[in-house]
């Protein structure tokens, strides 16, 4: 195990860049075009506090990043059928870093119908695109 003072072999930026090669993001404009497409499911992989504080893309399925692989896997006891109903998945997080890594991981699992939103929720809301507010628990 490398000592804490040794440099990492790969930076988080390197990982995100590699993930974007595996699962390239879609633009905000493409996302807007897909928003009402019944063959697409937007999936918010941020944490519940982010959903409550900032809202979500209207109609998005909420799946925290830490559970996503388990919720997508039919062999997992945590499987969620909504994430495996034939729709293309468009993941998003706050800034498109977590979603890049998550989309690439799902590709590695065999879900090649997955992409993610360039710039994430921050860019989406900054562009004035629709946001659904959630009532805190």
Q: How far apart are CA 31 and CA 37, in angstroms?
A: 10
Query: What is the pLDDT, as a whole number, of residue 134?
Result: 87
Dihedrals phi, psi of 117, to nearest 5 degrees = -90, 120
Where do the domains of the chain lie, and which CATH numbers do they carry?
12-126 (3.40.250.10)
Over residues 16-42, mean pLDDT: 98
Average pLDDT over residues 6-34: 96
Query: 0.75 cut: is pTM over it?
Result: yes
pLDDT in tens, 45-77: 999 999 999 999 999 999 999 999 999 999 999
Q: What does the alpha-carbon distance between residue 38 and residue 74 come to, in Å, rounded to a whole number? A: 22
Beta strands (DSSP E) in 1-137 are 40-44, 61-62, 88-92, 114-116
Residue 111, SS3 per DSSP: coil
């Amino acid at each position: 195990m490398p000592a804490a003072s040794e440099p990492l072999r790969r930076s988080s930026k390197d990982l995100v860049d590699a993930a974007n090669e595996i699962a390239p993001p879609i633009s905000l404009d493409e996302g807007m075009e897909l928003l009402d497409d019944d063959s697409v499911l937007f999936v918010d992989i941020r944490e519940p506090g982010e959903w409550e504080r900032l809202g979500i893309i209207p109609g998005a399925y909420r799946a925290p990043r830490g559970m996503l692989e388990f919720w997508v896997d039919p062999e997992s006891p945590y499987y969620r059928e909504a994430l495996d109903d034939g729709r293309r998945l468009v993941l998003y997080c706050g800034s498109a870093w977590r979603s890049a890594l998550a989309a690439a991981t799902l590709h590695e699992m065999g879900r090649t119908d997955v992409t993610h939103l360039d710039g994430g929720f921050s860019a989406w809301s900054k562009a004035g695109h629709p946001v659904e507010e959630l009532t805190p628990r």
